[in-house]
C-alpha cells in the first residue's frame, strides 16, 4: 500500500512511518522540518525511517501550506491512505501567534483533504488532541464531553476535526479523528515534561514543575498510539468517527516527577515555578469507543513507560541528551 505521512519527521509521525515500512508498505513523508525543536532530532528520525524502509521510503521536504506541492505529492504517487500528523505544535506558543497556527494547521489540512478527494485517497486519519476538551466537566473525558478549547492550538485541532467530518460526509474520502492524550516514549520532543525530568535528574538537577504539580495528565506510550493508527490502515470500522487514544490511567505531575527521581536513583527534591497559561489542569481519557471500534487496548502504563524511556535515554544519551539540553 502507498501511504503518505504528513509530519513524518516528527516524533509520532516517524515512529508510525517506521512501523509501516517494517510491515512492507511504501511510505512518503512530507515534512517542512519546522525548527520548533533541534532539527538534529528530526534528522535522526528520518535516518531511522531510511534504515527501516530501504527502497520503500521517500522524504519530501515542504509544507502542507504549499497547495501545489501537496497536490503533486498525492497525485504523482497514487497515495492510498494518509496519516495526517503535521501541525504547528505547542499550546503555549500558539497564544503568541494564533494566525500563524491557523494558517499552518487549518489551511494546511484543507490542502491535504482537497487533494485527497481529488486524487482517489481512500482514507485520511487525522491526528487530533485532548486539548480540544478544555476544562473538564467530568473525568474521564468521553467523546461526548463538551469541547471548550483554551488555546489557539486547541482551536485549530477542533476545527480540523470538523473539516474531516465534513469531508467524510460530503466528499469521497473517509476520515477518522484520533484525539491523542500526551504521547511520550523514545525520541520524544525535547520540551516535554518527561524528557526534561529525566534529563535533569540524570544530570543531578531537580525536576522543574510549573505550578503546584497537582495537575494530572493521561500519558500515552508511543507504541500504543502506533498500534491504534495501524488498525485503521485498511479498515473502515471507524470511518467518520472521532476517538480518544489514551492510556490506562492518569498521574499527577508531582507523582510523575517523584517516579522519575526514584527510577533514576537520584537524591533530589522537586522545584516549582509559576504555572504557564493555557495549560490544561487535568486530562484523562475514556477509551471505550476506540476499544469497541478498533480493539484498542493501551498496554503500557505510565510507570512502566517512564522506566522504558529512561533505559532508552541512557542507551542513546550521547546523541539525544545534547538535543534536549539545547532546546
Exactly one of 37, 153, 163, 221 is catalytic; which is it? 153
Is residue 264 within 8 Å of residue 207, measured between CB atoms? no
Is 252:216 a contact under the CB 8 Å cutoff? yes
Largest CA distance in the chain: 59
Q: Are strands 251-252 and 216-217 parallel, antiparallel or unpaired?
A: antiparallel
What whole-number distance in Å separates Cα of residue 45 and Cα of residue 199? 20
What is the crossing angle of helices 253-264 and 302-315, to 10°?
50
Instruction: Give the Cα separation of 239 and 174 in Å (integer).
Output: 6
Cβ proximity of 53 and 21 under 8 Å? yes
What is the b/e burial string over 194-211, where b = at least 16 CB atoms within 10 angstroms of the residue's CB? bbbbbbbbbeeebbebee
Separation of alpha carbons 165 and 168, rounded Å: 5
Helix/strand/coil percentages in the chain, nearest 5: 45, 15, 35
Q: Report yes or no: 198 and 224 within 8 Å, Cβ to Cβ.
A: no
CA atoms within 13 A on the CB side of 116: 31
- For residue 322, give the C-alpha cell: 545534547
Residue 84's DSSP bridge partners are 6, 126
Active site residue 153: yes
CA neighbours closer than 13 Å in the CB half-sphere of residue 4 = 32
Catalytic residues: 153
Amino acid at each position: 500500500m502507498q501511504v503518505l505521512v504528513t509530519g513524518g519527521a516528527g516524533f509520532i509521525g516517524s515512529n508510525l512511518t517506521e512501523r509501516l515500512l517494517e510491515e512492507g508498505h511504501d511510505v512518503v513523508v512530507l515534512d517542512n522540518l519546522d525548527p520548533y525543536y533541534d532539527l538534529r532530532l528530526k534528522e535522526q528520525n528520518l535516518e531511522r525511517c531510511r534504515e527501516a524502509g530501504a527502497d520503500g521510503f521517500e522524504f519530501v521536504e515542504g509544507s502542507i501550506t504549499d497547495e501545489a506541492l501537496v497536490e503533486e505529492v498525492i497525485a504523482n504517487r497514487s497515495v492510498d491512505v494518509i496519516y495526517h500528523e503535521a501541525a504547528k505544535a505547542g499550546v503555549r506558543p500558539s497564544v503568541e501567534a494564533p494566525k500563524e497556527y491557523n494558517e499552518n494547521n487549518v489551511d494546511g489540512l484543507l490542502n491535504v483533504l482537497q487533494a485527497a478527494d481529488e486524487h482517489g485517497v481512500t482514507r485520511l486519519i487525522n491526528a487530533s488532541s485532548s486539548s480540544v476538551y478544555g476544562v473538564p466537566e467530568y473525568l474521564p473525558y468521553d467523546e461526548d464531553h463538551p469541547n471548550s478549547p483554551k488555546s489557539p492550538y486547541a482551536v485549530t485541532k477542533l476545527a480540523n476535526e470538523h473539516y474531516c467530518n465534513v469531508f467524510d460526509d460530503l466528499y469521497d474520502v473517509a476520515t477518522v479523528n484520533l484525539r491523542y492524550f500526551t504521547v511520550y516514549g523514545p525520541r520524544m520532543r525535547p520540551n516535554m515534561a518527561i524528557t526534561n525530568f529525566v534529563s535533569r535528574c540524570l544530570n543531578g538537577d531537580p525536576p522543574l514543575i510549573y505550578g503546584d504539580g497537582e495537575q494530572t495528565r493521561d500519558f500515552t506510550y508511543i507504541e500504543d498510539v502506533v498500534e491504534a493508527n495501524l488498525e485503521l490502515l485498511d479498515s473502515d470500522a471507524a470511518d467518520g468517527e472521532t476517538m480518544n487514544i489514551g492510556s490506562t490511567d492518569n498521574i499527577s505531575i508531582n507523582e510523575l516527577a517523584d517516579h522519575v527521581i526514584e527510577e533514576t536513583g537520584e537524591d533530589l527534591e522537586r522545584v516549582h515555578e509559576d504555572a504557564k497559561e493555557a495549560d490544561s489542569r487535568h486530562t484523562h481519557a475514556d477509551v471505550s469507543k476506540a476499544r469497541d471500534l478498533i480493539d484498542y487496548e493501551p498496554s503500557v502504563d505510565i510507570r512502566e513507560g517512564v522506566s522504558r524511556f529512561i533505559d532508552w535515554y541512557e542507551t542513546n544519551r550521547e546523541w539525544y541528551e545534547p538535543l534536549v539540553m539545547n532546546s
